[in-house]
Amino acid sequence: MKKKNLLSFIFTAAVLSGCGTISSGDLVKPSEIPAKRITKTAMAPVSNSTEQLPAISANPWLECESLITSGISPVKVADIEDEDFRRRIQITFTIQNTEAGTSYIAQRCMRGKVYACRIDGTANCAEKLNFTTEPNVPMKRFCANPDMEGIVLSPIITGINSAFEWRCHEGTAQITKQIADPDADGYDKSIWHEIPKP
């Protein structure tokens, strides 16, 4: 299987399986940072507004400060080299020690500060929120089935970056409520968190 197809398969499987639960007895403690690196992951193809780059800077805070005036804030998915950054990532996202080798992080700069998003089956780290209010073709087809009346559409149908919840009503897909708010750059602010400078 080619690498591109394998990555698509891994991402699709993650979306379908959802997130695992975290046991409170296994949460990472600040003094227990594992030696194993948090590594890059398979991820859905990013939009034109983002790009995947080589390894994150050895000092992500300095990197983001240097981009304040340039307006460049690409989403990165790469190895984390900075120990302080790795420690703060684990604490911010309550990553278990046993998960450290399989927990993946996207990073970007916003207004000179470092932000991170934990990648899992439901988090849309790569794309900005979509505020389109017209149903797409898969949504129209799904709701055309009379048996789907009243059903809430899953992100697989609406698109994982939709800012709205959609429900089938009288044969059409209709917005019932907004479920995500954008940050200053248009990404889902509920899953992108600032990582404070040490």
Same structural domain for residues 141 and 89? no
Domain carrying residue 69? 3-128+183-194
Q: Report the pLDDT value the prediction gives residue 85, as an integer from 0 to 100.
A: 85
Q: Grade residue 16 by pLDDT with cuts at 50, 70 and 90.
A: very low
Same structural domain for residues 81 and 29? yes
Same structural domain for residues 68 and 115? yes
Summarize pLDDT for 20-71 with one digit per residue, the tens.
333 333 333 333 433 333 333 333 333 334 444 444 456 888 888 888 876 6
The mean pLDDT value for 91-118 works out to: 82
**Which residues touch 56 (CB under 8 Å, ≥6 apart)?**
63, 76, 78, 79, 80, 81, 82, 85, 107
| Residue 5 confidence (pLDDT) above 80 | no
The mean pLDDT value for 155-174 works out to: 95
Three-state SS for 137? helix
Summarize pLDDT for 126-139 with one digit per residue, the tens.
899 999 999 999 99
Same structural domain for residues 67 and 152? no
Q: Report the pLDDT value the prediction gives residue 99, as an integer from 0 to 100.
A: 66
Same structural domain for residues 143 and 117? no
